[in-house]
Amino acid sequence: MSDQLLSVSGLSAGTEDKPILHDINLTVGAGETHVLMGPNGAGKSTLGHVIMGDPIYQVTSGSIVFGGQDLTDKSPDKRSLAGIFLSYQAPVEVPGVPLYSFLRTICQMRPELKTTARKFRQRVGEIADQLDINQNFLTRELNVGFSGGEKKKIEMLQLLLLRPKLAILDETDSGLDVDALSIVSRGIEAYRKECDGALLMITHNTRILERLTVDRTHVMVHGSLVADGPASLIDDIDAHGFARFENALEQKEQA
């Protein structure tokens, strides 16, 4: 078993008027790959955003410890500097900010990633080629006018450039065609091999998991983690869906 990297303990959270997560307990070891599955609206994306410190959500109880440091009350930038990366279902467009300048700025904020302009340019170019990204994209405004697949590939570029200790990928496969899905899968595989980082994959599409060795699978229903098991649990869910987990939770709540 790998050293514990992320420890979420007794975590409950939500918006000002709506509780969403209920007493979540989750641990991820260094270098492990975990998959979080569940029906739409289960709270999976919310968990990813709460771990990242999204200010839309308030933690009402519990803690988030990463690398031995309590991050429960830390801002998103502090969590990023600690080594957490979050991809988005729908990456936002940032007019007026060239992609290359954005990448250079975020890397300059990380002491371990600082390098000369020439070496940085070379590294970005290598990753772009690895992900079949036209280097002309680097001069364009961040995500402005990009297709869904292009935005997801740019996130993979950021992932390989930043080399985080933990990557939370929130339905990175959503809306991708076959070719884009293949490239994104290649990026995730490269991250695991080159960076040896941990993964928390939030997904409905098990195809993106085919090249990965999954250590643990978690199931979320109505904001609660209701099941935890090995990789084989993914095949069970593929065959039978989430109904039995929802029914079991309802029976538990009624008892």
Domains and CATH numbers, the chain: 4-89+165-254 (3.40.50.300)
SS3 35: strand
Quick check: pTM over 0.85? Answer: yes
**20 has pLDDT over 50:** yes
Average pLDDT over residues 102-124: 92
Is the pLDDT at 19 greater than 90? The verdict is yes
What per-residue confidence (pLDDT) applies to 1? 43
Q: Is the pLDDT of residue 196 over 90?
A: no
So what's the pLDDT on residue 250?
79
- Name residue, tokens 């020439």: 118
Per 3-state DSSP, the chain is made up of helix, strand and coil in percentages (nearest 5) of 40, 30, 30
Query: What's the CA gap between 227 and 127, in Å, rounded?
Result: 37
* Mean pLDDT value across the chain: 91
Quickly tell me which residue has 């509780």 as its tokens.
Answer: 19
Average pLDDT, stretch 178-202?
90
Q: In the structure encoding, which two tokens stand for residue 214, read together? A: 């999954």
